[in-house]
Structure 1
Amino acid sequence: MNNQPTPNLNELEKFHSEDIEKITLLLAKISNRSPSEIKPHLHTMLERLVQPAQELPFYETATPNEWVVAFQDWVESHRNLNLPTLSDAAISRESIYGERD
């Protein structure tokens, strides 16, 4: 891809209005639809084309090693919360399941 800034939609429509009109008429001709029906679709398509490419989410691109590092960072981020720890009695089998008869 080039390093030129992507024009916004208003600039694109302003500087290429004649071309956009020709495309609208051509699409109307080949689709047997009116230009007023074509314009919203063309506008939506142009909107998508001028938007900067969105970065894929981490879970779609991360390698196994990146997952490990991210998980370790997440674990470490919870170590310094200064939360009270549970007592042995609180996590004992009896306190969890109670007495069984």
Structure 2
Amino acid sequence: MNTSTPIGKNSEPQLLHEIKETHTQELQQIAFLLAQMTNVSEETVRPHLDAMLLQLVKSKVERPFYETATPDEWVKAFKEWASSHRKDTPLLDDYAVSRAGIYEEDEEI
């Protein structure tokens, strides 16, 4: 899957880097409030706040598999999906998949 995002300072996604730069005061305020509410230091709160921001940014930036997958990735994913099913399921007999077997009630008319 190709979910690459431009990287900013400290190997963080560019969007997260921009948020930190443009909302420095708000982030300091949030860290301060969280520290007050939890009775821990701002230094303890900051990594948790950064992790939450990173998770929120990633969920916004990452595109779904079907938008980014190459044909080879689709083939690999399909084969993995197919092999994840039970292999001891009995096969249907010829009658079950024949027209007469499928439309059995039509023959009664």
**Range of TM-score over shorter length:** 0.3 to 0.5
Query: Whose helix fraction is larger, Structure 1's or Structure 2's?
Result: 2
TM-score by length of structure 1 reads: 0.47
Larger Rg: 1
Higher relative contact order (CA 8 A, sep 6+): 2
State TM-score, norm by structure 2.
0.43
